[in-house]
Amino acid sequence: MSNINITLPDGSVKQHEAGVTAMDVAMSISEGLARNVLSAKVNGEVWDATRPITTDAQLTLLTWNDDAGKNTMWHSSAHMMAEALEFFYPGIKLAIGPPIENGFYYDVDFGDYNFTEEDLQKVEKKMLELAKAKNPFIRKEMPKAEAVAYFTEKNDPYKLELLQDLEDGNITFYTQGEFTDLCRGPHIPHTGYIKAAKLLSIAGAYWRGNENNPMLTRIYGITFPKSSDLTAYLELLEEAKKRDHRKLGKELELFTFDDDIGPGLPLWLPNGAFLIEQLEWLAKETERKAGYHRVRTPHIAKETLYLTSGHLPYYKDSMFPPMEMDGSTYYLKSMNCPHHHKIYDASPKSYKDLPYRLAEYGTCYRYEKSGELFGLMRVRSLQMNDAHIYCTKEQFEQEFKAVNDMYLKYFKIFGIDKYIMRFSTHDPARLGKKYVDKPELWKETEDMVRNVLISSGIPFKEVPDEAAFYGPKIDVQVYSAIGKEFTLATNQVDFSQPLSFNLTYTTPENEQKHPIIIHRAPLGTHERFIGFLIEHYAGKFPLWLAPLQVKILPISEKFNEGCKKILQSLENYDIRASIDDRSEKIGKKIRDAELSKVPLMIVIGEKELEEGLVSVRKQGEGDQGTMPVEQFAEAIQREIKELLSV
Partner RNA sequence: GCCGGUGUAGCUCAGAUGGCCAGAGCAGCUGAUUUGUAAUCAGCGGGUCGGGGGUUCGAAUCCCUCCACCGGCUCCA
**Which of 84, 608, 632, 636 forms a contact with RNA (CB under 7 A)?**
608
**Which of 277, 557, 561, 630 forms a contact with RNA (CB under 7 A)?**
557
Binding window for RNA (CB under 7 A); candidates: 196-204, 390-398, 399-407, 529-537: 196-204
Interaction between residue 562 and RNA (CB under 7 A):
no
Amino acid at 273: A
Interaction between residue 427 and RNA (CB under 7 A):
no
SS3 63: coil
Q: Is the dihedral of CA 567, 569, 570, 574 positive or negative?
A: positive
Interaction between residue 459 and RNA (CB under 7 A):
no
Binding window for RNA (CB under 7 A); candidates: 23-31, 112-120, 186-194, 342-350: 112-120
CA dist 608 and 559 (Å) reads 10
**In the complex with RNA, which residue's Cβ is closer, 185 or 266?**
266
Residue 318 near residue 264 (C-beta atoms within 8 A): no
CA dist 169 and 590 (Å) reads 71
CA dist 206 and 218 (Å) reads 9
**Which of 591, 612, 628, 638 forms a contact with RNA (CB under 7 A)?**
591
Residue 417, burial from CB neighbour count under 10 angstroms (0-12, 13-18, 19+): exposed
CB of 205 to RNA, least distance (A): 4
CB of 369 to RNA, least distance (A): 4
CA dist 315 and 470 (Å) reads 13
**In the complex with RNA, which residue's Cβ is closer, 469 or 541?**
469
Binding mask 489-528 for RNA (x = CB under 7 A): -x-x--------------------------x---------
Residues 228-247 that bind RNA (CB under 7 A): 246
**In the complex with RNA, which residue's Cβ is closer, 74 or 193?**
74
CA dist 282 and 530 (Å) reads 14
Give bridge partners of residue 329 from the DSSP assignment: 324
CA dist 331 and 349 (Å) reads 29
CB of 367 to RNA, least distance (A): 7
**In the complex with RNA, which residue's Cβ is closer, 169 or 204?**
204
Mapping DSSP onto H, E and C, the string for 206-274 reads: EHHHCCCCCEEEEEEEEEECCHHHHHHHHHHHHHHHHHCHHHHHHHCCCEECCCCCCCCCCEECHHHHH
Residues 254-273 that bind RNA (CB under 7 A): 257, 259, 262-264
CB of 238 to RNA, least distance (A): 13
Binding window for RNA (CB under 7 A); candidates: 190-198, 212-220, 321-329, 536-544: 212-220
**In the complex with RNA, which residue's Cβ is closer, 12 or 114?**
114
Binding window for RNA (CB under 7 A); candidates: 321-329, 443-451, 539-547, 582-590: 582-590
Binding window for RNA (CB under 7 A); candidates: 134-142, 187-195, 289-297, 586-594: 586-594
**In the complex with RNA, which residue's Cβ is closer, 314 or 351?**
314
Residues 6+ apart with CB under 8 A from 477: 419, 420, 421, 422, 485, 486, 487, 488
**In the complex with RNA, which residue's Cβ is closer, 178 or 623?**
623
Amino acid at 388: H
CB of 467 to RNA, least distance (A): 8
**In the complex with RNA, which residue's Cβ is closer, 583 or 645?**
583
Specify the DSSP element, H or E, that contains 5: strand 3-7
Task: Count CA atoms within 13 Å of residue 643 on its CB side.
Answer: 15
Residues 324-383 that bind RNA (CB under 7 A): 334-335, 337, 366-375, 378
CB of 394 to RNA, least distance (A): 25
Q: What are phi and psi of 390, to 5 degrees?
A: -100, 120
**Which of 64, 113, 150, 206 forms a contact with RNA (CB under 7 A)?**
206
CB of 100 to RNA, least distance (A): 8
Determine the size of the site formed for RNA (CB under 7 A). 74
Binding mask 612-641 for RNA (x = CB under 7 A): ---x-x--x-xx------------------
Residue 297 near residue 358 (C-beta atoms within 8 A): no
Give bridge partners of residue 225 from the DSSP assignment: none
CB of 388 to RNA, least distance (A): 11
**In the complex with RNA, which residue's Cβ is closer, 265 or 290?**
265
Residue 66 near residue 153 (C-beta atoms within 8 A): no
Interaction between residue 585 and RNA (CB under 7 A):
yes
Q: Which DSSP string corresponds to 416-479?
A: ---EEEEEE---GGGBTTTB-S-HHHHHHHHHHHHHHHHHHT--EEEETT--BTTB-EEEEEEE
Residues 117-136 that bind RNA (CB under 7 A): 117
CB of 56 to RNA, least distance (A): 41
Of 335, 369, 374, 487, the residue nearest 424 (C-alpha): 487
CB of 575 to RNA, least distance (A): 19
Q: What are the DSSP E strand ranges found in 45-101?
A: 45-48, 57-62, 93-94, 99-100
Q: What are phi and psi of 102, to 5 degrees?
A: -125, 80
Residue 534 near residue 248 (C-beta atoms within 8 A): yes
Binding window for RNA (CB under 7 A); candidates: 75-83, 169-177, 232-240, 580-588: 580-588
Residues 6+ apart with CB under 8 A from 222: 74, 77, 102, 103, 104, 197, 198, 200, 230, 233
Residue 562 near residue 508 (C-beta atoms within 8 A): no
CB of 150 to RNA, least distance (A): 27
**In the complex with RNA, which residue's Cβ is closer, 169 or 270?**
270
Q: At what angle do helices 629-644 and 560-572 cross, to 10 degrees?
A: 40
Residues 265-324 that bind RNA (CB under 7 A): 311, 314-315, 318-319
**In the complex with RNA, which residue's Cβ is closer, 77 or 615?**
615
Binding window for RNA (CB under 7 A); candidates: 4-12, 279-287, 406-414, 584-592: 584-592
Interaction between residue 536 and RNA (CB under 7 A):
no
**In the complex with RNA, which residue's Cβ is closer, 448 or 493?**
493
**In the complex with RNA, which residue's Cβ is closer, 545 or 601?**
601
Interaction between residue 412 and RNA (CB under 7 A):
no
CB of 383 to RNA, least distance (A): 15
**In the complex with RNA, which residue's Cβ is closer, 250 or 284?**
250
